[in-house]
Amino acid sequence: MSKKPSPTNSRKSPVAGIEFVSEAAGVEEYLLKSNGLRILFHERRDTDVVTTNITYFVGARDEERGETGLAHMLEHMLFKPTANDLKNKIEDGSAMRFERETGCILNANTWKDRTTYFFCSPTEHLDRMLALEADRMQNVVLTDETLKPEQGNVLSEFDMYGGRPDFTLAVQMVNSAFHSHPYGHETIGFREDIEDYNAEKLQRFYKNYYRPDNAVMMVVGDVDKKLALELIKKHFAELKNPATPIPRFSIREPKQEGMRRVTVERPSTTNLVSIGFKHEGFPSHDWFVNDLMLDTLTSGPESILHKLLVDTGKASSVASSMDPSSHSSLGVIEISLAQGQSHSEIEHLTLRAIESLTLKEITPLLKKAKIRNITDELFARTSSMHIAQELTEYVSAGDWNVYAKTTEILNKVSPKMVLDSLKKSFNSHNLTIGHFVGTK
């Protein structure tokens, strides 16, 4: 759960009713006192462009069995008309109408801990963008009639992922890795659950989680701070929180005892070995150590597994991923096998290579991984959309202030930390192995 801010009042807010909370790396946090809406503001001059981004602390982890993917389905429905739109005969909904009239960029995405909506537009539209976000926080009309075509689109989206061997295998692997924690299902949910959604389920979820005290409103771009805060106050200050508390699961994942395995067979020419390991939550220090560890293993032609498997023709690719999720989640090394290679041999070869790594091998790779990551951060922070996107992960996982400390954290990671992390991560009691077997 995201860390609640505690106002310091060490600096005054330019707008009454909005309290200054903190500042780091040019990002300022404020609090709308009337309802607890958090605000992040970052100014970037000379672009004439602004990005707004509202993040709700609700995602796949808040879904129950039989209702997987509901947070994502609701994300789609927030582009449908609100009660005000219907009154004003805006049948396609104000958000869509805004895009269709102005050409701004609008979209949304859902992840394990959060649902995020953003607009990127010339600065002149800021007032309208904030009005839209405020209106759809609580006023979208959710009916079975409006749900039906959007359900078809989400099923199409599911099939888009579902046709991919890596996604199919990942679904099975997280399900095996997490027996109790809701991270055990993918954000889009199971197809069967998507088919069974109805308006009532969406309304309940909407009411529970879409409220000012469960959201952060970000404004990043070429806009005056006072104006941005005044507009946020104008549109959001009157919104009320329900009297009921925000429902949260309090689940601790049972201890894993031994390696877990899954196999998926499908007529395909693709063959995959995926090595999953549970990693620490974001943005903890250990998360960054894990991230650099994965870099040394799989990132670029110098990495251990690229040299071992791709350069030798045993695999066509090696990739890895790790979620910026607040709780422990499943990181994955994915190996796409060359023709004629055996899943078990590649798995054995990979695990043996990881087990035998030494400080001597890790040290030069880590040095370069750190420099590369720090440079990547510089590049990522050159557009309002990317800045807002990155802040979203920090704020939804728990602490956006770490955004300002990334370079410092990365610089402090030592080869010994990475070696310890390898031992902890690739221990049989922490592993879930997946094989995708193409039967064509």
96 interacts with other proteins by CB under 8 A: yes
From edge to edge, which strands make up the β-sheet containing 315-321?
260-266, 431-438, 272-279, 329-337, 315-321
Minimum distance, C-beta of residue 144 to other proteins, in the bound complex (Å)? 13
Identified binder of other proteins from the candidate list 22, 35, 102, 138, rule CB under 8 A: 102
Q: Which of 28, 29, 62, 99 binds other proteins (CB under 8 A)?
A: 99
Q: Does 412 participate in binding other proteins (rule CB under 8 A)?
A: no
- CA 340 to chain centroid: 36
Which residue type is seen at 201? K
Contact 257, 41 (CB under 8 A): no
Secondary structure (DSSP) of 210-223? -SGGGEEEEEEESS
- Among 100, 412, 423, 429, the residue binding other proteins under the rule CB under 8 A is 100
Binning the chain into helix, strand and coil, the percentages to the nearest 5 are 45, 20, 35
Burial of 338 (0-12, 13-18, 19+ CB in 10 A): middle
Residue 15 CA, distance from chain mean position: 31
- Candidate segments 205-213, 236-244, 346-354, 366-374, binder of other proteins by CB under 8 A: 366-374
Reading the block at residue 283, the tokens are: 């943005």
102/109 with CB nearer other proteins: 102
Comparison of 351 and 374: residue with beta carbon closer to other proteins: 374
DSSP for 295-351, written as a single string: HHHHSSTTSHHIIIIITTTSEEEEEEE----SS-EEEEEEEEEPTT--HHHHHHHHH
Residues 32-61 that bind other proteins (CB under 8 A): 46-49, 51
Mark the segment that binds other proteins (CB under 8 A) among 13-21, 105-113, 210-218, 414-422. Answer: 105-113
Output the smallest distance, CB 209 to other proteins, in A. Answer: 24
Distance CA 36, CA 45 (A): 28
**Binding flag, residue 26, other proteins (CB under 8 A):** no
Q: Identify the DSSP state of 56.
A: E
The 295-334 site mask, x for binding other proteins (CB under 8 A), equals: -----xxx-------xxxx-xxx-----------------
Decide: is 423 part of the binding site for other proteins (CB under 8 A): no
Under the binding rule (CB under 8 A), the answer on residue 22 touching other proteins is: no
- Which among 226-234, 286-294, 344-352, 383-391 is the span making contact with other proteins, rule CB under 8 A? 383-391
77 interacts with other proteins by CB under 8 A: no
Question: How many Å apart are CA 332 and CA 431, to the nearest integer?
Answer: 10
CB of 303 to other proteins, least distance (A): 10
Task: Count the residues of the shown chain that bind other proteins, applying the rule CB under 8 A.
Answer: 70
Binding of other proteins by 89 (CB under 8 A): no
* Shorter beta-carbon distance to other proteins: residue 230 or 377: 377
Cα-Cα-Cα-Cα dihedral sign, residues 41, 44, 45, 47: negative
The encoded tokens of residue 194 equal: 């998507």
Q: Are 434 and 274 in contact (CB under 8 A)?
A: yes
Asked whether position 274 contacts other proteins by CB under 8 A, the answer is no
Residue (264 or 419) nearer to other proteins, CB: 264
Q: With binding defined as CB under 8 A, does residue 265 bind other proteins?
A: no
Structure tokens, 285: 């220090």
Distance from the Cα of residue 235 to its chain's centroid: 27
Q: How far from each other are the two terminal CA atoms of the chain, in whole angstroms? A: 45
Q: How far is the CB of 3 from other proteins (least distance, A)?
A: 29
The site map against other proteins for 136-165 (x = CB under 8 A) is ------------xxxxxxxxxx-xx-xx-x
User: 71 vs 120, which CB is nearer to other proteins?
Assistant: 120
CB of residue 399 to other proteins, shortest distance in Å: 25
Contact with other proteins (CB under 8 A) among 87, 103, 252, 255: 103
Exactly one of 81, 221, 283, 415 binds other proteins (CB under 8 A); that residue is 221
Cα separation, 215 vs 396, whole angstroms: 9
195 binds other proteins (CB under 8 A): no
* Contact criterion met (CB below 8 Å) for 114 and 56: yes
Confirm or reject binding of residue 355 to other proteins (CB under 8 A). Answer: no
CA angle 259, 161, 73 (to 5 degrees): 105
Instruction: Say whether residue 118 binds other proteins (CB under 8 A).
Output: no
List contacts with other proteins (CB under 8 A). Answer: 46-49, 51, 79, 92, 96, 99-107, 120-122, 148-157, 159-160, 162-163, 165, 221, 266-270, 300-302, 310-313, 315-317, 336, 338-339, 364, 367-368, 371-372, 374-375, 378-379, 382-386, 438, 440
